[in-house]
Amino acid sequence: MTSKEFHAPEWGHKQLRAAVDAAGVALWSWNLDTNNFQMDPHGYALWDVPQNRQLTFERLSEKVHPADRDRVREAFLATKAVDGAYEIDFRTQLNGDVRWISARGNGGEIGLVERAMTGIFIDISGRKNAEEGHELLAGEMSHRVKNLLAIAAALTKITSRSSSSTEDMSQQLTNRLIALGRAHDLVRPLPGNQGTAALLGDLFTVLLSPYDDDGAFAGRIRVAVPRMGIGKAGATGLALIVHELATNSLKYGALSSEAGTLDISGSQDGDEVVITWKEHGGPKVTAPPKGDGFGSKLIRQTMEAQFGGEISYNWPSDGLMVTLAVSVEQLSV
């Protein structure tokens, strides 16, 4: 069977126009003698300029983003003398809206037709936004990994100083890293452009759920804090504090007793959030412990160094009460 010879169709003006419109391409022409700049209807709409007024390259350049304007002018002027294809990506700023445009064509004598250079404009905003999103995500992931490695190294060092055995150190370090992991799992975008954060109540609920068979809201642990978002650093620091308080309670306080309960409450007064940790029903408290252990030092250091906040302890007979005061701004970081 002999294949028939393929003959390319002859493209007319209507077919070319339909193809150009379908591709979202704008055509332009720049007369080097008169400096007159002309575009097709799609080009005028893309640049938000009227079709019934004379347009020069300089006037069109005023629509280019100030940060890219000099670069674009130099690049276009260079195409007069350089033969061959070129492509320039730049931003435009139209009524406060920033868009990315790609200009493509042939420079030098190759691109001249009756003393006019011709080429196309393509709106590449979608592609550029996607690229910026990928770069931001890659940078964010790199930043978070570096932070977690630094935290893990620091925790390993300080945990070794307070451990009585290799097994004890392994258990303490594992618990602290799991607490950090749970906090970071909660970091997610919030609706309404509130930024990347965890919800304060979710953070307490997830971190304390291992100590409560019935769940944090229904059993021995009750959480009632303001509905607010906290940032990545805030979630990490608060997770360390919650873990240390819970560990101490499990060893010596309310969580060591089957009848013990824990109330986490909070209130927001202006730009400050006050969180109260109150234990009930555990072993009777007779006196505050002597000196600060490792956990207490870690809590105080996190509150003061990271949050610039305050922490206070009270030891009523029915159980420990801890008060944390921190600014909303510091929690949102």
* CATH number of this structure's domain 128-331: 3.30.565.10
| Among 77, 89, 79, residue whose Cα is nearest residue 111 | 79
Query: From the CB of residue 216, how many other CB atoms can be counted at a distance below 10 Å?
Result: 22
Task: Please say whether the structural domain 13-123 has been given the CATH code 3.40.50.720.
Answer: no
Distance CA 282, CA 218 (A): 19
| Among 327, 302, 316, 310, residue whose Cα is nearest residue 244 | 302
Q: Model-level pTM greater than 0.85?
A: no
Q: Residue ranges of the domains in the chain?
A: 13-123, 128-331
Task: Judge whether 223 and 216 are in contact, CB under 8 Å.
Answer: yes
Query: From the CB of residue 167, how many other CB atoms can be counted at a distance below 10 Å?
Result: 9
Residue 1 confidence (pLDDT): 41
Distance CA 293, CA 32 (A): 79
Q: Which residues pair with 131 in a beta bridge?
A: none
**For every one of its 333 residues, what pLDDT tens digit does the chain have, with 9 covering 90 and above?**
444 554 555 666 777 777 777 777 888 888 878 888 889 888 898 898 888 888 888 888 889 999 999 998 888 888 777 777 888 899 998 887 889 999 888 876 665 777 778 888 999 988 888 888 787 677 757 755 765 676 677 567 656 766 778 888 888 788 777 776 776 676 566 665 556 668 899 889 888 877 765 444 457 889 999 999 888 888 888 888 888 888 888 888 888 887 889 999 999 988 999 999 999 998 887 777 666 666 777 788 888 888 899 999 998 888 999 999 999 988 888
Whole-angstrom CA distances from 46 to 39, 90, 233, 312 are 10, 13, 42, 61
